[in-house]
Every structure is written in structure tokens, then in C-alpha cells.
Amino acid sequence: MRFVRHRHAPVEVNLTPLIDVVFLLLIFFMVSTTFETRQALELELPLSDTAAPLAASPITLVVSREGDYRLGEQRLDAAGLSVALAEVADAAREHGLIVEADRHSSHGAVVTALDRAGALGIQQIRIATRDSLTHVETP
């Protein structure tokens, strides 16, 4: 007995709806994204594979909670900061500048210090931090 064979159409996956959805998502993200240019302070961050002692001690600038500055043993206000940094600018350009700021000091005081150092051509600026794993605060 001879059976009639029915030819089955090959199974196809229609990708047109998938491509439509991908294009709609792409257009949505392109329209909803905002591009904003921000001015940022350019800092050259040091790279280190292993810790090594410094050959020469860098200059340390301390920013207090109240927004005052201390360079060495000399206490400064915002007006005297430029003059004091200008005196040590050659050493800071050669050995670097470390900015130690209290975590409750104002952002503006730190930016002022970085701006004044940048105006004097000091490019090796490091911001001191404390290791949070080994630091235990006392009340």
C-alpha cells in the first residue's frame, strides 16, 4: 500500500520582530541618554606594584575641618595659601605634593588647594587616605 507523503514546510524562526524590538530599544537608549561635559581636575595618580620608600619626602598640605590649611608647621588661610605654596613650589614639582584633608572638611577648601597647586605647575599631587580595613574609629 502506498501512502501519500505530505511535505512539511521547513521550520523557520522569524527574526523580524526581534530586530524591531532591538532597534526600538536602541532608539530609546539613544534618546534618553544625556551627554554632559564636565570640567575635572586632572590628577596623575601613582601606579605601584609593590610598596617602596620614597627617595625624598614630598611636601604635605593639610586641610582642616574648618577649611584652614597647614603647610609644615605654618598655619594658613585661603589668602596665604598661594604665597606659601609658591615658596615650596620647586620642591613640590620635584618631589610631589600630598593633600591630607579631614573627611569633614569642605569640598571647596580641597578644590582651592588643588587649584592653587595646579596654577603653580605642580603636577604630582596625591590625596592621602586611610586604609578602611585597618582603621578603627573610637567614639
Q: Which of 67, 119, 64 is nearest to 97 (CA)?
A: 119
Domain containing residue 66:
59-127
DSSP string, 80-117: HHHHHHHHTHHHHHHH-EEEEE-TTS-HHHHHHHHHHH
Let me know if residue 80 belongs to a domain.
yes
| 103 secondary structure, DSSP code | T
pTM: 0.54
The answer as to whether 17 is a domain residue is no
Q: Answer yes or no: is 95 within a domain.
A: yes
- Give the largest Cα separation in the chain, rounded: 111
Q: Could you tell me if residue 138 is inside a domain?
A: no
- Domain presence at residue 4: no
Residue 30 lies in a domain: no
Is 64 domain-assigned? Answer: yes
Lookup: cell for 14: 522569524
The length of the chain, given as a count of residues: 139
- The residues, ordered by sequence, that sit 6+ positions from 6 with a Cβ below 8 Å of its Cβ are none
Total domains present in the chain: 1
**CATH number for the domain that contains residue 123:** 3.30.420.270
Q: How confident is the model at residue 129 (pLDDT cuts 50, 70, 90)?
A: low
Please name the residues in contact with 66: beta carbons below 8 A apart, sequence gap of 6 or more: 105
In a domain, 9, yes or no: no
Q: Could you read off the pLDDT of 18-74 as tens digits, one per residue? A: 999 999 999 999 888 876 655 544 444 445 555 455 556 678 888 888 888 988 788
Asked if 126 contacts 96 with a C-beta cutoff of 8 angstroms, the reply is: yes
